[in-house]
Amino acid sequence: MTSSASLAQAEHKNEARVADYIALLKPKVMSLVVFTGFAGFWIAPGAANIHPFLAFIGMAYLALGAGAAGAINMWYDRDIDAVMKRTMNRPLPLNKIEADDALGFGIICSILSVMVMGLALNWMAAALLAAGNLFYVLIYTVLLKRSTPQNIVIGGAAGAFPPMIGWAMATGDISLMPCLMFLIIFLWTPPHFWALSLFANEDYKRAGIPMMTVTSGARSTKIQMLAYTLILLPVTLMPWLLGYAGMAYGISAAVLSGFFVLTACRVLASDDLKHAKAMFGYSVFYLFALFLALMIV
């Protein structure tokens, strides 16, 4: 009876440990990475010639690579994560995982994902995956996040790599279309994260992170958010204008992007944080919907 109880406790502990390591990979962020990466793959010429199993392997290791970069980010930011309400329940602040274990896990998963991507698909896709991970860890996490209010603006490039990786998985190269998809995510990132920072501003102050809302104030940030959504709107129309997508996509992009501009206008016009929260929620839906429209219409 005692041994059975001990075995059950051990199994429960192992399950919790697995769950902690999964949390270390930032699965919510990973889902958006995989979706935008799959969109790049789906619309790429030659995607139909890739064996479904190889496509699955590519997406799985794209997810693992993105998660690995997230794990290293959590390792580096464990001190500030511990003082922010939004992040204090992550595995490292709660001491569920040792810091060295988290770092080792992130490095091993990152190397593994790049190597498998190269061997299973091609080395262009692998190189882009490695570049995205290095940009996120070294440029954004280490150099920018704690030093400049432009952290999200420049660092946002890291999250824009997945469509290029997906495209390269199918073609082995890069052309204008995946670069447009990169640009869309790059321009989407600042208003997306600044909407979050408006209602999480005290967290960033407490952690000493120079987000735009901390260094320049709410109104200046809101004006820049609106500016980015206005710039983003015509960029989202470029796949249609350049003949990469049909008119149905163009209409979808115009409507979705127009509403994104409207959410930014509402945020600028009011001090009620509910508008910032609504804009943040819509921004996630917006990117999913925009790339889905690109895939199906």
Task: Report the alpha-carbon distance of residue 59 to residue 47 in Å, rounded.
Answer: 13
CATH dotted code for 14-173: 1.10.357.140
Q: Give 155's pLDDT tier (boundaries 50, 70, 90).
A: confident
Residues 6+ away with beta carbon under 8 Å from 101: none
In angstroms, how far is the first alpha carbon of the chain from the final one?
61
What mean pLDDT do residues 173-178 have? 95
CB neighbour class for 123 (10 Å; exposed up to 12, middle 13-18, buried from 19): middle
Map tokens 């199993």 to a residue.
53
Q: Quote the mean pLDDT of the chain.
A: 91
* pLDDT over 70, % of the chain: 94
Q: Are 105 and 21 in contact (CB under 8 A)?
A: yes
Task: Report the alpha-carbon distance of residue 166 to residue 178 in Å, rounded.
Answer: 9
Task: Report the alpha-carbon distance of residue 150 to residue 136 in Å, rounded.
Answer: 14
Q: Which helix (H) or strand (E) holds 24?
A: helix 2-24
Residues 116-131 have pLDDT tens digits of 999 999 999 999 999 9
Task: Report the alpha-carbon distance of residue 85 to residue 254 in Å, rounded.
Answer: 36
